[in-house]
A and B are shown apart, each in its own frame.
Chain A
Amino acid sequence: MKIIVLVKHVPDAQFDRHLNGEGYTTDRDESILSELDEYALEAGLQLAEARGGSKAGNQVIALSMGPAGAVNAVKKSLQMGATEGFHLTDDALAGSDAAATSLALAAAIRHIGTGAPVDLVLTGMASTDGETSLVPAQLAERLGLPQVTFASSLELDGGRLTARRDADTYSETVEASLPAVVSVTDQINEPRYPNFKGIIAAKRKSITTLSLADVGVDPSQVGRAGSWTTVTSAEERPPRTAGTIITDEGDAGIKLVDFLAAQKLL
């Protein structure tokens, strides 16, 4: 099987995050592999392992798009067990919206699928920076593939996949034929930590750098120029400040209700 897992290098939410520059793009200092993508990678590794792993010809390929630092998301994926990495990077990609991102990623996936076609594209349920959840569906539309999003379990049987999805008011089972694009939730598994052996093994694994020219995308189709949306202003919200803090002296519940009444919230 050939599985591609999309991994994104995102600003660590433990620190303050900032929008900068002409296109109000995210400042990518202090970035890490998006937590939500670790679940997708783990799902890919488990599917490959259940089929005999890399010895049996199963590939789990980590693909990241982004500036130089984004290669760190690929490296971490290799340490966790991915067999190979690709890093799509090009100055022209800066400021790409979801439509432009999905265009570039679709081209990279087609490129990686030259020769041996890709069976499955796995992603997290959202990135933890843009948080739009648009890219998996847009990739599926561009590649002409079925999409299965928010999978909380995933099984493959030959060329069919079965997934479970949980919404607020219902749970459903869905089936699709491979190849397909699947996004997974944080309920699907418990991602492994890279161990020492994995970290050493990762040093011997290849990371291929791809440019837009390599994947056949014209620079005018991506980046701020090729995006179909544009951010015209961004304002940092003033940080919330603490209000009244009281210590319970036996009547805090009543004081709470007084506060709600004063705020007209009852």
Chain B
Amino acid sequence: MAKVLVFIDNPGDALKKSSLELLTLARSLGETVVALNGDLNSGVSDEFAEYGVTAVYRPSSQDLDNYLVAPKAAYLAAAVEAAGAGTVLLDNSPEGKEIAARLGIRLGAGVITDVVGVDADGTAHKSVLAGSYTTASRVTTPVAVLTVKANNVTPEPAASPSTPDAVTVEVPGDSIATAARITDRQQKTATGRPDLTDARIVVAGGRGLDGDFGPVEQLADALGAAVGASRAATDAGWISHDAQVGQTGKTVSPQLYISAGISGAIQQKAGMQTAKVIVAVNKDAESPVFEIADFGIIGDLFDVLPQATEEIKKRKG
């Protein structure tokens, strides 16, 4: 059976949901092996067994985290060759895509990013041009490298657990020599909210907030949602640039996107129009966002949002 190699980077104590999704997808395509970077804790080890992983590859070098992606890509290329894998799955984070990019050149393998589904024959599905098209594509080389978006697979353990083999892979030295070194890293204060890109619900605010993100944040917290923003709001400095949704920011495709005080110009729409359900609140009845909203409210967000927040809290008891 074809081997599918999943790259998992620094899982910590337990695998993230997106990693479990990759392991589940891998099993539908062949025999699952993992290339791990970082420590292997017992919890993660148990999860690998539960998800039917047959081998866990680990790098000879422990300092891959001190560099940008080049040594990780080189390690992964060596792991793919050691395993004889025909498909490599990575998460769709910016770093995942860059590792995939360099890995593709090292292996002479085609890379497809932003994948939302893979058929048993390897056909990958994705959405392009800001959600205006869905495409099916294939890799024409012996090895396929795919980066898969979160929230498109339901994690499911294997029918019977496995006992993974442990294999060490030599990291090629040349990759470290030409890598950029990370000299300082500072963690940002955790907001306690889900990551914007992976969130099931996003509440986003724009120019209409006039500098006050309070109502958006409170509604987001009541819904367990991530907070997003239009470019106008991030450019004005009302909220961190990380929150920007749109053509030049993040693309999100949550179950629910609530847009508050955002007109819905093309650049905004490009980032969110693949959301399953779109709700819009705006004072201006002419806002283009109403053309794509499933539920639109013409009204003052400073009245509507707090009222909705209170009502949600009441119903959730």
| A residues neighboring B (CB under 8 Å) | 13-14, 16-17, 19, 24, 26, 35-36, 97-99, 102, 128-138, 140-142, 144-150, 162-163, 166-176, 180, 186-187, 227-237, 239-248, 250-257, 259-261, 263, 265-266
With A229-B139, A243-B296, A252-B297 as contacts: A235 and B68 at CB distance below 8 Å = no
CA–CA, A215 and B138, complex, Å: 29
B194 → chain A closest CB, angstroms: 11
* Alpha-carbon distance between A73 and B255 when the two chains are bound, in angstroms: 38
B165 within 8 A of A: no
In the complex, chain A residues whose CB is within 8 Å of the CB of B316: 266
Which residues of B from 81 to 139 have beta carbons under 8 Å from A? 94, 97-98, 100-102, 104-106, 108-114, 123, 127-139
Interface set of B (CB-CB < 8 Å, partner A): 68-70, 73, 94, 97-98, 100-102, 104-106, 108-114, 123, 127-141, 178-188, 190, 195-197, 201, 223, 241-242, 247-248, 251, 255-256, 266-267, 270, 273, 277-279, 281, 285, 290-300, 303-312, 315-316
Docked pose: A186 CA to B294 CA in angstroms: 31
DSSP class of A's interface residues: helix, strand, loop or mixed?
mixed
Whether the pair B110, A229 counts as a contact (CB closer than 8 A) is: yes
Q: Are B311 and A170 in contact (CB under 8 A)?
A: no
Q: Cα distance A149–B278 when bound, in Å?
A: 32
Quick check: A246 and B303 within 8 Å, CB to CB?
no
The residues of A that contact B293 with a CB separation of less than 8 Å are 242-243, 245
For B134, give its contact among A163, A237, A254 (CB under 8 Å).
Answer: A237
**Which residues in B have their C-beta under 8 angstroms from that of A246?**
296-298
Q: How long is the Cα–Cα vector from A235 to B129 in the complex, in angstroms?
A: 11
Other-chain residue from A134, A135, A242 in contact with B100 (beta carbon distance below 8 A): A134
Task: Assess the B183–A232 pair: CB atoms within 8 A.
Answer: no
Bound Cα distance A175, B295 (Å):
48
Task: Judge whether A146 and B180 touch: CB under 8 Å.
Answer: yes
**Contact, CB under 8 Å: A242 / B109:** no
Docked complex Cα distance between A187 and B300 (Å): 31
Chain A residues with CB below 8 A from B180, complex form: 146-148, 163, 174-176, 180
Once A227-B140, A243-B295 are accepted as A-B contacts, the answer to whether A146 and B70 lie under 8 Å apart by CB is yes
